[in-house]
A = this chain, B = another copy of it.
Amino acid sequence: MSATKILLDEKDMPRQWYNLAADLPTPPLPPLGPDGKPITPDMLAPVFPMNLIEQEVSTERWIDIPEKILEMYALWRPSPLYRAKRLEAALGTPAHIYYKNEGVSPPGSHKPNTAVPQAYYNKEFGIERLTTETGAGQWGSALSFACSLVGLECKVYMVRISFDQKPFRRLMMETWGGKCVASPSNETQAGRAILAEMPDTPGSLGMAISEAVEAAVTDQSGKTRYALGSVLNHVMLHQTIIGLEAKKQLELAGEKKVDTIIGCAGGGSNFAGLSFPFIADKIHGAEIDIIPVEPSSCPTMTRAPFTYDFGDTAKMTPLLPMYTLGHDFVPPPIHAGGLRYHGMAPLVSQTIRDGLASPRAMHQLDCYEAAVLWAKTEGFISAPETSHAIAATIEEAKKAKEEGKEKVILFNWSGHGLMDLLGYDAYFNNKLTNYPLPEEDIRKSLASLEGLPKP
């Protein structure tokens, strides 16, 4: 029998991350400050350590991965590349479907690929404590895990409604020694101001970011910094280990070329992690379809303009050049919480502008249908975010069947859904819907971008 899993030995783990900024046909636009002028590294210093800021602005093609990070990566990396033979059989497709299993990490997703380096570089810089925000808890648990490995304190501001409804992710953070509070909290000025006005607010990611950034920059010891789990260039950089491993593994599997690369995209990091090394090949002439997948109800890449916008609702971040539905946009409450983001990483946005990636939007019910077929064939229970990549993969595999083509399709199985089973329950009990496109909300939210600088 041919192999189901293509393993890579630890000694063959990539020793460098790949920086797409070095190869993009159009150099990325700079982030802007409140005055409309490009941000300088110094301006970010109260928020991030300088060694990470250097990665953020770097245009070096390859950046060495320190030995100590490789040792921590080895707790779960290289992740296995799987051939989804049972799904292929169920679909009767001639396509070869491969997926990278990022669910094998201790927190169960791709997030630790950047959480570990971010914790490491902060520790190296003399930082003692990291703050961050989290929605459903994937990122907060990954950062707590990473901080426990390197010996940093970790403080997570978790959106109140998730804090109350999803105690398991909070318990993961606490098991790794992280402190998790519901946001808005009484611990920050931003939190207190919000609570004074709206004592019963369910919270939001925007509020939680405000609290986490404030807690970092106001610590007088200077030993606290903030960490972000997606969107930024250095986050995309760290995630490229996924695609770099996958390339080696496809070669081991005897595949001469890959035709299609698929990843779900919320802030963009898991998609970027798999796709950027392949986009490099595309820039140099390879014919590859690169497909980032988003929810139809939060259609950042497929419906929004490319413009400067804030990364958060509280307007505390620099202005980033990206596809954006507007920082005021509140996506419908789909279960794929990690895809409910109004913007898209500037580097990912740039690949779309340059015609290197072709985004696609999928409906919630189609994604759950795909995830259930996946569980019954491939066995693993998928995160609702990941199910978007599965649904698009199935579409492509069916197309290959119609065309009679033995296409090679690779997607990123970004995480397991063991903490997300209530969404499956709702699906089985017909309690889920495909939300109609919130046209009016998008119109209003985009209107709030007037007056901001244009690219």
**B3 A376 Cβ-Cβ under 8 A:** no
**Contact residues, A411-437 vs B (CB, 8 A):** 418-419, 421-422, 424-425, 428
Partner of A379, one of B7, B145, B376: B145
- In the complex where A145-B379, A379-B106, A379-B149 touch, is A424 in contact with B71 (Cβ < 8 A)? no
Contact in complex: B5, A74 (CB < 8 Å): yes
> Taking beta carbons and an 8 Å cutoff, which residues of A are in contact with B?
1, 3-5, 7, 9-11, 67, 70-71, 74-76, 86, 104, 106, 108, 145, 148-149, 167-168, 171-172, 174-177, 372, 375-376, 378-381, 418-419, 421-422, 424-425, 428
Say whether A381 contacts B421, CB under 8 Å: no
Chain B neighbourhood of A177, CB < 8 A: 376
Partner of A167, one of B74, B148, B175, B425: B425
Q: Please tell me if the beta carbons of A428 and B376 are within 8 angstroms of each other in the complex.
A: no
Distance between A129 CB and nearest chain B CB, rounded to angstroms: 17
Contact at A378–B75, with CB atoms within 8 Å?
yes
Q: Supply 8 A–B pairs (Cβ within 8 Å), ascending by A.
A: A1-B71, A4-B10, A86-B149, A108-B418, A172-B381, A172-B421, A418-B418, A418-B419
Q: Besides the contacts A86-B149, A171-B422, what 12 more A-B pairs have beta carbons closer than 8 Å?
A: A3-B9, A3-B10, A7-B7, A75-B86, A108-B418, A148-B379, A175-B372, A175-B375, A175-B381, A176-B375, A177-B376, A418-B418
Least CB distance, A78 to chain B, in whole angstroms: 9
Cross-chain contact A5 with B1 (CB below 8 angstroms): no
A174 x B424 contact (CB < 8 A): yes
- Distance in Å: Cβ of A123 to nearest Cβ of chain B: 15
Interface of A is mostly: helix
The interface residues of chain B lying within 8 Å CB-to-CB of A1 are 67, 70-71, 74
Copies of this chain in its oligomeric complex:
2
A103 to chain B, nearest CB (A): 9
CB neighbours of A86 from chain B (8 A): 75, 149
**CB-based contact A175/B421 at 8 Å:** yes
Using Cβ atoms and an 8 Å threshold, which residues of chain B touch A176?
375-376
Complex Cα gap A176–B419 (Å): 16
Q: In whole Å, how far is A152's beta carbon from the nearest beta carbon of chain B?
A: 12
Partner among B75, B174, B379, B428 whose Cβ is within 8 Å of the Cβ of A4: B75
The answer for the CA separation of A345 and B134 in the assembled complex, in Å, is 45
B-side contacts of A75, CB under 8 Å: 4, 86, 378-379
A375 to B375, CA, bound (A): 27
- A367 CA to B168 CA in the complex, in Å? 20
A9 near B7 with CB under 8 A, answer yes
How distant is A407 from chain B, measured CB to nearest CB, in Å? 23
> By the criterion CB–CB under 8 Å, are A106 and B380 in contact?
yes
Complex-state Cα separation, A148 to B174, whole angstroms: 35
Distance in Å from the Cβ of A174 to the closest Cβ of chain B?
6
A175 and B376 CA atoms in complex are apart in Å by 8
Contact partners of A424 in chain B: CB under 8 A: 171, 174-175
CB neighbours (8 Å) of A70 from chain B are 1
* Distance of A419 Cα from B419 Cα, bound (Å): 8
Cα A378 to Cα B3 with chains together (Å): 29
Q: A174-B424, A375-B175, A375-B176 are in contact. Are A11 and B7 (CB under 8 A)?
A: no
A253 to chain B, nearest CB (A): 12
- Of A3, A149, A175, A372, most buried by chain B (CB within 10 Å of CB) is A175
CA distance A9 to B5 in the complex (A): 9
B376 touches A148 (CB 8 A): yes
How far apart are A117's CB and chain B's nearest CB, in angstroms? 15
